[in-house]
Structure 1
Amino acid sequence: MIDYEKVLLDLVTPMVEDKASVSVKKMDTLDENEILLYVYANSEDVARLIGRRGSMASSIRQMMSVASRKEDKRVTIKFESY
């Protein structure tokens, strides 16, 4: 089984300035085929991860969906700042 939290954290950590402030949490959903992941970081780093018009966020979501196809899961990623 893939550790989606670790994969996502390894993917986004090199993209931010304050690497210690980034965390990824997996949340439970009602759909057993869906994995809901939240990326928490400071507002500047979240802006960097989302990118212009969501281009970086879209790319991150696309890469994670490729990883989840092996297990026939759907990954939803939300970006939150603090």
Structure 2
Amino acid sequence: MARKGSLEAERQAIAKERSALEAREAKLRESEQVAMAELLRKSALGKAPFERVEAFFAALGKLGLEEAEKRLRAS
């Protein structure tokens, strides 16, 4: 039978790994946000007036991403 101390040590090791993984995932999400903002700045939307970009995203929100992608592929 496993010793109580070794089980607790394993639980602590798993918790530490989980915490490190959560930190890595948070850093990845932040990096993705920065990359998305950079893509937006470099795209046609990044060069358009704010009002047009705002209207575009409102329309996109009404259509939904999948429907907008489908329509863009069809055009």
Q: TM-score scaled by structure 2?
A: 0.25
Q: If the length of structure 1 is used for normalisation, what is the TM-score?
A: 0.23
Identify, as 1 or 2, the structure richer in strand.
1
Indicate the structure with greater helix content.
2
Say which structure, 1 or 2, has more relative contact order (CA 8 Å, 6+ apart). 1
The higher radius of gyration belongs to 2
